[in-house]
Homo-oligomer: A and B are copies of this chain.
């Protein structure tokens, strides 16, 4: 059952591909002790990385308002993935850091994604997966977290 709009298949397959990977990631993360992690969280935690960030900084990186970033940090803090400390050099700022539990989620995500990628490579061939990523790199913005559509991040 194909679409009535021929050109529609390309964007749809890209979306479905993304969804398939993300859904399987979170199903597996749930089994590995991270049942509360949502797709958004992975992106945010990656943006936080091992370094220190603030809500404003994070919002800028992800392309959302500082308030939205702040809300997400609230959630992440509540479920134990990040912690906030006051910046001694600027008492307005609150520095966000990953907790060990947060780092664990990120490390496991990496392993799961590798496994999924290997599964795709098994079906398509490793060179096809590499080609797909290489091709997409040519037609998408260079900076992973930058897309000038406000709120694009909500697509998770």
Please tell me which one of the listed residues B1, B8, B124, B155 contacts residue A139 in the complex, with CB atoms under 8 A apart: B124
Contacting B at CB under 8 A, from A99-156, are 106, 109-114, 116-117, 120, 123-124, 128-129, 131-133, 135-141, 143-145, 147, 149, 152, 155-156
How many chain copies?
2
Complex CA gap A16/B120 in Å reads 19
A22 proximal to B (CB < 8 A): yes
Interface residue count on the A side (C-beta < 8 Å) = 61
- Given the interface contacts A7-B110, A113-B8, does A17 sit within 8 Å of B144 by beta carbon? no
Q: Is the CB of A155 within 8 A of B15?
A: yes
Q: Indicate whether A19 reaches chain B with its CB closer than 8 angstroms.
A: yes
A118 CB to nearest B CB, Å: 9
Taken together as a complex, chains A and B put the C-alpha atoms of A106 and B141 apart, in Å, by 27
Q: How far is the CA of A149 from the CA of B79 in the complex (A)?
A: 23
Closest 7 CB pairs of A and B: A7-B113, A13-B136, A16-B140, A5-B110, A14-B18, A11-B21, A7-B114
4 additional A-B pairs beyond A8-B110, A10-B129, beta carbons within 8 Å, are A4-B50, A10-B113, A10-B133, A16-B144
